[in-house]
Amino acid sequence: MKLLVTGGAGFIGSNFISYMLSVYNDCEIICLDKLTYAGSLDNLSDALDRTNFKFVKGDICDKETVCDIFDREHPDAVVNFAAESHVDRSIESPDVFIKTNILGAGILLDACLGFGCTRFHQISTDEVYGDLPLDCADLSFSEDYPLHPSSPYSSSKAGADLLVLSYYKTYGLNVTISRCGNNYGFHQHTEKLIPKTIENALRDKPIPIYGAGLNVRDWIHVLDHCRAIDVILKKGRAGEVYNVGARNRVRNIDLVKYILKELGKSDSLINFVTDRKGHDRLYAVDPGKLERELSWKAEIEFEQGLRDTIEWYVQHL
CB-neighbour burial class of residue 243 (10 A; exposed 0-12, middle 13-18, buried 19+):
buried
71 CB-side CA count, 13 A = 6
User: Which helix or strand (DSSP H or E) is residue 264 part of?
Assistant: none
**Spatial CB neighbours of 52, under 8 Å, sequence gap ≥ 6:** 21, 27, 28, 29
Nearest one of 166, 181, 184 to 125, comparing CA atoms: 181
Rounded distance between C-alpha atoms, residue 121 and residue 175, angstroms: 6
**Spatial CB neighbours of 6, under 8 Å, sequence gap ≥ 6:** 13, 31, 32, 33, 60, 78, 79, 80, 81, 82, 104, 108
Scored b (16 or more CB within 10 A) or e, 63-77 reads: bebbeebbeebebeb
H-type alpha helices, the chain: 11-23, 63-73, 87-92, 94-98, 104-115, 152-171, 193-202, 222-235, 252-262, 288-294, 302-316
**Which residues are the active-site residues?**
126-127, 153
Length of the chain: 317
Backbone φ and ψ for 233, nearest 5 degrees, come out as -60, -40
* DSSP string for 128-157: GG--B-TT-TT--B-TTSPP---SHHHHHH
For the beta carbon of residue 91, count every other beta carbon within 10 angstroms: 15
